[in-house]
């Protein structure tokens, strides 16, 4: 006596789609948290280093301030030191809070994604059990193999996309950042010039 006695074309199509959706979702979730996050972090550091190297060279430092302000390199160094010195404690405090908020938020998203993944797998298993209880034949092994083949090709496409395009695409704009820094330097310098020097008594 065979356990399954019924076949349904529509049920098979439904399970084909369900298996592929669940397996692709599982792959993309795990791929993102195990690989993409690492690549994005490394690329973020690379772009920040590129931005700093681009901005902090003699040509750019000299061009940060328009010539009519008559600020020389020594003044720029003093201004930069003043800005950094006056902000460093506040930056450290704020960045700790922001980093903690980011870490907590990322952990929540990761936990949420993994819980959702577990729920989706449980729903698929329950649907398979219900189908078997109604004696429908579901070729689970062949559906898993088919889904794994699809994931293999999707995985190769994702990996190639990350390596060839996403990893090499530059999103930072040094000119935009340079203009922001120039504005801050000019404001800082102008404010410094307007402060009256104390006269000796």
- The three-state secondary structure class of 93 is helix
Flag whether 201 is in a domain.
no
Confirm if 178 and 62 have CB atoms less than 8 A apart. Answer: no
Flag whether 90 is in a domain.
yes
- Number of independent structural domains in the chain: 1
| Arithmetic mean of pLDDT, 45-49 | 72
| Arithmetic mean of pLDDT, 93-114 | 78
Nearest to 54 by CA among 170, 178, 184, 179: 178
DSSP 24: H
- Let me know if 185 is exposed, middle or buried by CB neighbors in 10 A (0-12, 13-18, 19+): buried
Query: CA-CA-CA-CA torsion for 56, 62, 66, 71, nearest 10 degrees?
Result: 110
Flag whether 45 is in a domain.
yes
Flag whether 16 is in a domain.
yes
| pLDDT in the model for residue 187 | 73
Flag whether 195 is in a domain.
no
| Arithmetic mean of pLDDT, 126-134 | 88
The three-state DSSP-derived secondary structure of 99-121 is HHHHHHHHHHHHHHHHHHHHHHH
Q: What is the pLDDT of residues 23-36, one digit of tens each?
A: 999 999 999 988 88
Residue numbers of the domain that contains 61: 9-189
Please give the mean pLDDT across all residues of the chain: 75
| pLDDT in the model for residue 78 | 61
Cα gap 175→146, rounded to integer Å: 50
- The larger pLDDT score, comparing residue 68 to residue 175, is at 175
Residue 150 has pLDDT above 50, yes or no: yes
| pLDDT in the model for residue 42 | 78
Q: Considering just the CA atoms, what is the radius of gyration of the chain in Å?
A: 29
- Let me know if 39 is exposed, middle or buried by CB neighbors in 10 A (0-12, 13-18, 19+): middle
Give the range with max mean pLDDT: 8-12, 48-52, 118-122, 132-136: 118-122
| Arithmetic mean of pLDDT, 3-23 | 84
Confirm if 166 and 38 have CB atoms less than 8 A apart. Answer: no
| pLDDT in the model for residue 88 | 54
- The rounded percent of the chain whose pLDDT value lies above 90 is 18
| Arithmetic mean of pLDDT, 156-165 | 88
**Which positions ≥6 away from 172 have C-beta within 8 Å?**
47, 48, 50, 51
DSSP 6: B
Flag whether 51 is in a domain.
yes
| pLDDT in the model for residue 3 | 66
Give the range with max mean pLDDT: 2-16, 93-107, 126-140, 186-200: 126-140
């Amino acid at each position: 006596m065979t356990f399954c006695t019924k076949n349904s074309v529509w049920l098979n199509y439904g399970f084909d789609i369900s298996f592929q959706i669940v397996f692709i979702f599982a792959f993309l979730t795990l791929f993102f948290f195990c690989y993409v996050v690492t690549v994005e972090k490394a690329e973020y550091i690379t772009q920040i280093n590129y931005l700093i190297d681009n901005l902090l060279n003699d040509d750019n430092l000299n061009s940060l301030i328009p010539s009519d302000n008559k600020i020389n390199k020594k003044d720029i160094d003093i201004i930069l030191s003043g800005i950094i010195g006056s902000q460093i404690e506040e930056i450290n405090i704020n960045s700790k809070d922001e980093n903690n908020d980011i870490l907590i938020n990322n952990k929540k998203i990761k936990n949420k994604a993994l819980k959702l993944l577990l729920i989706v797998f449980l729903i698929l298993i329950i649907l398979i059990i219900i189908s078997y209880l109604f004696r429908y034949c579901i070729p689970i092994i062949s559906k898993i193999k088919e889904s794994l083949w699809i994931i293999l090709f999707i995985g190769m496409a994702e990996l190639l996309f990350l390596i060839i395009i996403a990893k090499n695409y530059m999103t930072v704009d040094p000119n935009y950042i340079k203009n922001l820094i120039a504005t801050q330097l000019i404001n800082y310098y102008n404010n410094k010039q307007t402060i009256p020097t104390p006269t000796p008594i």
